[in-house]
Amino acid sequence: MSADVNISGQHHRFFELKVARCVARELSKALFLLCSIVALAPAQAQQVAHIGVAGCAGSTCHGSNVAFAGSNVVQNEFRIWNEQDPHARAYKTLLTAESQAIARKLGIGDAHTDDLCLGCHADNVSAEFRGDDFQIADGVGCEVCHGGAGDYLDIHADGDHQANLDAGLYPTEQPEARARMCVSCHVGNQTDRRITHQIMGAGHPRLSFELNTFSTIQPAHYRVDEDYIERKGNISELQMWAVGQLVAAEQMLDNVEAFPRSGLFPEFVHMDCLGCHQAMSKITWSKNPLTQQKPGALRYNDSHLMMSYQIALAVAPSAASQLLKNIRVFLNSAESIQSPAATIGGLRRSMATLKSALQQQPITSTQGFELLKALLDIGLASSHRDYASAEQSAMAINSVLKVMDADGMLSANRSRLTGGLDSIYAGLNDAEHYRPKEFLAGLRKIKSAIN
Ligand code: HEC
Ligand code: HEC
Ligand code: HEC
Ligand code: HEC
């Protein structure tokens, strides 16, 4: 149906590894309501023995060479993970010259033995939770995401999903739980997965994350088919996107509260990297009507917060202006932040209101059009001067178009849409040479295509 439309962005460098699988999913409301109740904190999930990847990868378990025909699950999960998934090489990355250089600059020992790196690049549970087959060199293995298998190993082939969850299987299919788990590494958390500007300064790549896009890019070792939907529900990609934004924004606020400063100064890792790291000859400042910050002001990375505002406009319009007010209070406190709780409190309440609205009324593909319009209009109004917001916008627009297309709701001129996306990605190709003009031209093209 959509073979002629490249709304997957897969030929763009921006989405280098990001191979798209267009899986249209619809969410049952009831299922989503469960999310907030059963979401386990990753820390909790760790208090069970981790058997190690080898323990999961038996040939009659998840280590088959080919997908099993008559089974609910593909059973070649190990092979897909091992051969295609970047998580399988996360530990090996710590052995590279690049990692050694980072470690040297930080003055720590070896990257592959230091907790600072292992927290996100491996399954770094403490010694008493490591089973016989456990190997730290497995990197980000099965149990990092699915929870320690010690207590569910014996029962989980029986197919009673709820029983598995009760025994400690992590609910990775549920948007909020999945988001919390992924962002703990991809945004960083306030405890064992903490990323700082010092680590960045030593050469660590900038982190950026969007739940739906990254879920799509991670090589799928599961099939969302009939029996999957029966067991786990039908989860909409738009809901995945929206919940991912709120959870990433909340994680960022948690981090700001936990480590607001580094010495005398605010901790720069919470800020927009390119707010500081760009050539002085490149004068790009213009007033952003949304954030209303002054020229020269220190800027938080507000990309997830701004997306949250756009979600509010689409799903909880009555709460949107209060949210924006609270975002502004927070953003304008970047330099003076002494007691983050004072400026974050109101924002947290607004975010909680929005989250419960989204839980009661999951975002549907019929709202996709409103959302798309908000993304385009706000993008154009704020001029997306900063790369991080533009990047989030691009992934959002991509996700919305993909869902609308899969649901047969995209009547717009396809070649104009593709042209618009091409222009957006061309603008974003290189974070250090962001080209807002091309990005904005892409937004305009898409806007004219859907009008
Ligand atoms: C324990 C930390 C951790 C968790 C949890 C985690 N990741 Fe990752 N992820 C990493 C690391 C580290 C890398 C980089 C691996 C490398 O190249 O060495 C990575 C890489 C990726 C990439 C490739 C990125 C790119 O630029 O191509 C994707 C996609 C991804 N993760 C998606 C996810 C998703 C989706 C989740 C949640 C379901 C998740 N990750 C959970 C640590 C984690
Ligand atoms: C908060 C979690 C976190 C911590 C702590 C962390 N990393 Fe990473 N690291 C990641 C993620 C996530 C990626 C993948 C980023 C992406 O592609 O989006 C990554 C990517 C990398 C890469 C680039 C890999 C590639 O394929 O290009 C290197 C090198 C690296 N990390 C080294 C380190 C070292 C060394 C340390 C310890 C000093 C460390 N990391 C600590 C999360 C973390
Ligand atoms: C970076 C996180 C991550 C890693 C690492 C990971 N998975 Fe998954 N896995 C997911 C996500 C996300 C899903 C899809 C949501 C769901 O069904 O729970 C999933 C789904 C599954 C499913 C469910 C399929 C179904 O039809 O219900 C199985 C089985 C599975 N993974 C096994 C494994 C095995 C075995 C490994 C290790 C070789 C592994 N996973 C590694 C994140 C991960
Ligand atoms: C408030 C300003 C500010 C922000 C925001 C900021 N940095 Fe920095 N950054 C600095 C300063 C100051 C240095 C130290 C420069 C030096 O040593 O000459 C630095 C150094 C670096 C370096 C090392 C450069 C070198 O020449 O060795 C890297 C890499 C880096 N930052 C990445 C980042 C990333 C990634 C982010 C966003 C997460 C970020 N920075 C956010 C101010 C900032």
Q: Domain check: are 327 and 408 in the same one? A: yes
Same domain for 405 and 280: yes
307 alpha carbon to ligand 3 midpoint, in Å?
27
Using CA positions, which residue lies closest to atom 26 of ligand 3? 73
Q: Which pLDDT score, from 0 to 100, does residue 196 have?
A: 97
Q: Which of 139, 170, 201 marks a domain boundary? A: 170
With a cut of 70, say whether residue 2 has pLDDT above it: no
Statement to judge: residues 377 and 436 lie in one domain: yes
User: CA 64, CA 81: separation in Å to the nearest integer?
Assistant: 12
| Residue linked to tokens 């990197």 | 139
pLDDT, one tens digit per residue, over 258-269 is: 999 998 889 999
Q: Are residues 147 and 185 in the same domain?
A: no
Residue 95 has pLDDT above 90, yes or no: yes
pLDDT at 218: 96
State whether the beta carbon of 428 lies less than 6 angstroms from ligand 3: no
For the chain, the 3-state helix, strand and coil shares in percent, each to the nearest 5, are 55, 0, 40
User: How many independent structural domains does the chain possess?
Assistant: 2
Q: For residue 30, what pLDDT is reported?
A: 24
Same domain, 145 and 237: no
Kindly report the protein residue whose alpha carbon is nearest to atom 15 of ligand 3: 173
SS (H, E, C) 388-417: HHHHHHHHHHHHHHHHHHHCCCCCCCHHHH
Read off the pLDDT band of 31 (50, 70, 90): very low
pLDDT above 80 (res 4) = no
Tell me what pLDDT residue 337 has. 63
Neighbours of 119 (CB within 10 A): 19
Whole-number percent of the chain with pLDDT over 70: 89
Comparison of pLDDT for 407 and 330, the residue scoring more: 330
Domain region containing 80: 40-170
Taking the C-alpha atoms of residue 68 and residue 406, their distance in angstroms, rounded to an integer, is 27
Angstrom distance (rounded) from CA 6 to CA 20: 10
Amino acid 104: pLDDT: 98
**What single DSSP character describes residue 434?**
-
CB atoms within 10 A of CB 54: 16
Residues 128 and 13 in one domain: no
Instruction: Output Rg (C-alpha) for the chain, integer angstroms.
Output: 22
Same domain flag for 442 and 317: yes
Q: pLDDT band at 206, cuts 50/70/90?
A: very high
Q: Which of 276, 335, 386, 387 most suits a substitution to test ligand 4, by most atoms within 8 Å of the C-beta? A: 276
**Residue 106 alpha carbon to ligand 4 centre in Å:** 14
Q: Which residue has the higher pLDDT, 180 or 383?
A: 180
Both structure tokens of 417:
């849409």
What are the tokens at 140?
Answer: 């980000």
Note the pLDDT tens digit of each residue in 105-142: 999 999 999 999 999 999 999 999 999 999 999 999 99
CB proximity list for 101: less than 8 A, separation 6 or greater: 202, 203
Q: Best of 77, 158, 162, 240 to mutate for ligand 3, by most ligand atoms within 8 A of CB?
A: 77
pLDDT at 158: 84
Q: In terms of domains, do 260 and 389 share one?
A: yes
What count of other Cβ atoms lies within 10 Å of the Cβ of residue 141? 30
Per-residue pLDDT, 34:
25
SS3 349: helix
Q: Are residues 281 and 186 in the same domain?
A: yes
Q: Are residues 14 and 92 in the same domain?
A: no
Report pLDDT for 270.
96
SS3 139: coil
Residue where a domain terminates, one of 170, 200, 228: 170
**Block residue for tokens 């070896």:** 110
**Final residue of a domain: which of 138, 170, 202?**
170
pTM for this model (two decimals):
0.92
Of the pLDDT bands very low, low, confident and very high (cuts 50, 70, 90), residue 37 is very low
Q: Which ligand is nearest to the CA of 208?
A: 2
Task: Work out the percent of the chain whose per-residue pLDDT is above 90.
Answer: 63
Task: Supply the DSSP symbol for 166.
Answer: H
Average pLDDT, the chain: 86
Q: What is the pLDDT of residue 74?
A: 87
**pLDDT tens per residue, range 59-70:** 889 998 888 877
Question: Do 148 and 219 share a structural domain?
Answer: no
> Do 342 and 378 lie in a common domain?
yes
CB of 268 within 6 A of ligand 4: the answer is: yes
Owner of token pair 């901790």? 267
Query: 118, 183, 186: which to mutate for ligand 1, most atoms within 8 A of CB?
Result: 186
pLDDT at 338: 67
181 lines ligand 1 (CB under 6 A): yes
The CA 221 to ligand 3 mean position distance, Å, reads 6
